Amino acid sequence: MPPLCWRHHTLIQALLSRGPLKESEFQSIFSDVTGKSFDSHQQLFNDYLRKINMELSYVQFELRACRNQYDSGVYYGVINTIADEQSKLGSKYTVPQIAFYKGIIEAIVQDPAAQGTISNINALNIRLENQGTSSQVPTAFKAFSMSQKEKTIQELVHDQWLCDMSDGRIGLGVRSFLDLRSWFHNNEVPACDVCNEAGVKADLCPNESCTVRIHKYCLQAKFSQQRMEKVCPGCGTQWPYVMAKSEAVEEDDTDVSQPPLGPAMRKRQKTSSNGPPESQPPENGQPSRRRVAVKVDYDGAGSSQEPSLVPRTRRATRNSARLHR
């Protein structure tokens, strides 16, 4: 196979140095380097991503796309598929900081209401001693002060592992949505009934004995089809869903075909991804243009043997391909 050309390298470099990038930004970089518009060259775009992933896979990196579940925006990033926390969070974070991060994401994904957030106070009250890594310097955990926790939250928000929500609570950052796909799966975070991605921030079936949860943007895609009954796909309970007027006319078909890059579904969805990451999902009925989100999901390349980000039993193994030094 011919090596990657400078155009591929520019795309990778943009994600490494500036990523994760919003879909629109990444597509415009693609247009800049190829001289081809994304809208009329989606196949070329997908070919680029596939080729990049072939090469990145040799060093256990992967270019992938994900949705920010709070605002439904699509982001692209390069992630490290060797899932030990040292290689993911780099040398920037200390062991107690990483344990604190793990505690926060565990609390967030365990939220039974699937709001996908935690209050600042509850985050600060997370006890590192409970993080199940008893062999790892418990004294450093005990000495981890409130102000260190506050500072760590700020750093994690800055690096997009966490995000500040508009209501002052803390949610997962885009980097976590990109990076934790296997971790969500291994930790049995309930999946969205429509797209099968973890339902960290999702709407719950109104029937309390039913476990179905669906992302708001997946609900929109599903229920905006005129013929579709607004009922839970699991238990058949009426699902209270008010459609914005602009939605009904746009969604005339449901092309849930396979993407070129992996087993995940390709979804057609209307999003408004131009807002800030903290913004709420678009519920104001603004007309939004239709777009196709292609998940760059390369899980087929061996996610089953991919270890969890949070090594409950496993010690970190050194990754020779570390990004951060």
CB of 68: closest distance to Zn ion in angstroms?
12
Question: What does the alpha-carbon distance between residue 296 and residue 65 come to, in Å, rounded to a whole number?
Answer: 5
Q: Please identify which residue in 195, 198, 296, 309 interacts with Zn ion, judged by CB under 5 A.
A: 195
Of 197, 161, 193, the C-alpha closest to 181 is 197
CA distance linking residue 213 with residue 190, whole number of Å: 8
Show the CA angle centred on residue 98, arms to residues 94 and 101, nearest 5°.
140
Cβ atoms of 220 and 230 closer than 8 Å: no
CB of 177 to Zn ion, least distance (A): 12
Does 207 bind Zn ion (CB under 5 A)? Our answer is yes
Query: What is the footprint of Zn ion within residues 141-160 (CB under 5 A)?
Result: none
Nearer to Zn ion, 42 or 237 (CB): 237
Q: ∠251-281-117 over CA atoms, to 5°?
A: 135
- Using CB under 5 A as the binding rule, the residues of this chain from 233 to 272 that contact Zn ion are 234-235, 237
- Could you say whether residue 219 binds Zn ion (CB under 5 A)? no
C-beta of 57 vs 207, nearer to Zn ion: 207
Minimum CB distance to Zn ion, residue 192 (Å):
3
- Examine residue 293 and tell whether it contacts Zn ion (CB under 5 A): no
Three-class SS state of 67: strand
- Look up tokens 């598929």; give the residue: 81
Nearest Cα to Cα of residue 23 among 52, 50, 49: 49
Note the helical H segments in 1-41: 6-18, 23-34
CB nearer to Zn ion: give 30 or 184. 184
Q: CA-CA distance, 134 to 320, in Å (whole number)?
A: 26
Among the listed residues 174, 192, 198, 261, the single contact to Zn ion using CB under 5 A: 192
Among 163, 205, 219, 310, binds Zn ion (CB under 5 A): 205
In the beta sheet, which residues pair with residue 203? 214
The structure tokens listed for 219 are: 């609900």
Which residue number, 29 or 218, has a Cβ lying nearer to Zn ion? 218
Size of site (CB under 5 A) for Zn ion: 13
Q: By C-beta, is 189 or 192 nearer to Zn ion?
A: 192
Question: Rounded to the nearest whole angstrom, what is the least distance from the CB of residue 31 to Zn ion in the complex?
Answer: 28
For residue 118, the cross-strand partners are 170
Binding mask 15-44 for Zn ion (x = CB under 5 A): ------------------------------
Binds Zn ion (CB under 5 A): choice among 215, 222, 266, 291: 215
Residues binding Zn ion (CB under 5 A): 192, 194-195, 205, 207, 210, 212, 215, 218, 232, 234-235, 237
